[in-house]
């Protein structure tokens, strides 16, 4: 039998990946709003093969799953930190969205708390929530175009 040269991973310090922290916050938002407003974290395509990129978006299921990007998160594949958090709802500074460069999990959590609690994020959640309250989820057809000529719609269904 071959010698096991791997360390005992169970005894190494535990880390939470930044994307895991984002997923936790997405789940908590759904709980806070009764799932009227949800959030999702999805991996995004990235040009640099050595990096991972994730998007964090609000979702309003009652508004045909309307999505609003709140932030992007990027870091190296082999290292969780430093991580870059780019906010999409805060006003651009000199034509660029604000970017936080974060060297640790605690710095990431503090910056994320700031972004999620920022007035632009709070207003976006409130606006989507109010607009969603009177609409039952599932109403409407995502493929329906009210301005599409009837004949074109007929050909589409064949």
Which pLDDT band, with edges at 50, 70 and 90, does 129 fall under?
very high
Q: Is the pLDDT of residue 132 over 70?
A: yes
Residue 89 and residue 124 in contact, taking contact as beta carbons nearer than 8 Å: yes
pLDDT for 151 equals 52
Whether the pLDDT of residue 152 is over 60: the answer is no
Look at 146 and 53; give whichever has higher pLDDT: 53
Task: Determine the Cα–Cα distance for residues 94 and 82; give it in Å rounded to an integer.
Answer: 24
| pLDDT score, position 144 | 55
pLDDT in tens, 7-61: 888 876 778 899 999 999 999 999 999 999 999 999 999 888 899 999 999 999 9
β-sheet with 83-87: strand ranges across: 38-44, 51-60, 66-76, 83-87, 99-102
What are the extents of the domains in the chain?
A: 13-133
CA 117/CA 87 separation, integer angstroms: 12
């Amino acid at each position: 039998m071959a010698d096991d040269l791997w360390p005992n991973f169970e005894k190494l310090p535990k880390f939470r990946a930044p994307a895991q922290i984002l997923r936790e916050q997405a789940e908590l938002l759904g709980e806070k709003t009764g799932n009227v407003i949800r959030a999702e974290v999805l991996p995004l395509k990235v040009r640099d093969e050595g990096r991972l990129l994730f998007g964090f978006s609000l979702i309003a299921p009652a508004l045909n799953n309307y999505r609003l990007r709140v932030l992007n998160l990027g870091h190296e594949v082999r290292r969780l930190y430093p991580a870059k958090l780019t906010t999409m709802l805060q006003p651009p500074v000199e034509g660029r969205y604000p970017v936080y460069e974060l060297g640790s999990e605690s710095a990431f959590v503090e910056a994320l708390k700031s972004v999620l609690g920022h007035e632009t994020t709070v207003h976006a959640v409130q606006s989507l929530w109010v607009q969603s309250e009177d609409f039952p989820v599932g109403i409407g057809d995502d493929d329906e175009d009210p301005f599409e000529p009837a004949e074109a719609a007929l050909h589409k269904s064949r």
